[in-house]
Amino acid sequence: MQDAITSLINTSDVQGRYLDDSGLERLTAYFHSGELRARSALSISANANTLVTQAVAKSLMYTDITAPGGNMYTCRRYAACIRDMDYFLRYATYAMLAGDVSILDERILNGLRETYNSLGVPISATIRAVQSLKEVTADLVGADAGKEMGRYFDHICAGLS
Amino acid sequence: MSLVTELILNADSESRYPAPKELRIFQDFLKSGEQRIRIASVLAQNEQNIVQTASARFWERCPVTPSNSGNPRKTASCQRDQGWYVRLVAYCILAGSEQPLVEIGTLGIKEMYTSLEIPLRNIVECMKCVKEESIAVLAPEDAIEVAPYFDYIIRALS
Give the pTM: 0.92
Of the candidates B26, B31, B91, the beta carbon closest to that of A97 is on B26
Q: Cβ distance B137 to B39 under 8 Å? A: no
B109 touching A (Cβ < 8 Å): no
Query: What is the per-residue pLDDT for A156?
Result: 98
Of the candidates A3, A18, A38, the beta carbon closest to that of B40 is on A18
Q: Do A34 and B18 touch (CB under 8 A)?
A: no
Query: What is the per-residue pLDDT for A10?
Result: 95
Mean pLDDT of chain B: 96
Backbone angles phi, psi at A61, to 5 degrees: -50, -45
CA distance readout (Å), A149 to A54, A112, A137, B122:
17, 20, 8, 51
> Which of B23, B37, B103 to substitute to test the interface with A, most A CBs within 10 Å?
B23
Work out the burial of residue B143: count CB atoms within 10 Å of its CB; fewer than 13 is exposed, 13-18 middle, 19 or more buried: middle
The tens digit of pLDDT for each residue in B127-145 reads 999 999 999 999 999 999 9
B104 touching A (Cβ < 8 Å): yes
Residues of chain A predicted below pLDDT 50: none
Residue A57: Cβ within 10 Å count:
12
Q: Do A27 and B24 touch (CB under 8 A)?
A: no
Q: Do B9 and A18 touch (CB under 8 A)?
A: no
Of the candidates A5, A16, A18, the beta carbon closest to that of B2 is on A5
Query: Distance (Å) from the C-alpha of residue A130 to the closest C-alpha of chain B?
Result: 19
Query: What is the per-residue pLDDT for A119?
Result: 93
CA distance readout (Å), A131 to A56, A125, A136, A137, B142:
10, 10, 9, 10, 45
> Quick one: average pLDDT of B32-57?
97
SS3 at position A140? helix
The tens digit of pLDDT for each residue in B2-44 reads 999 999 999 999 999 999 999 999 999 999 999 999 999 999 9
The ipTM value here is 0.91
DSSP H stretches of helix in B32-158: 33-61, 72-95, 99-101, 109-115, 120-136, 140-157
For A74, left (φ over 0), alpha (ψ -120 to 50), or beta?
A: left
SS3 at position A60? coil
- pLDDT band per the 50, 70, 90 thresholds, residue B122: very high
Contacts B9 to A, Cβ<8 Å: 1
The tens digit of pLDDT for each residue in A70-111 reads 999 999 999 999 999 999 999 999 999 999 999 999 999 999
Nearest C-alpha in B relative to A24: B37
Query: What is the per-residue pLDDT for A114?
Result: 95
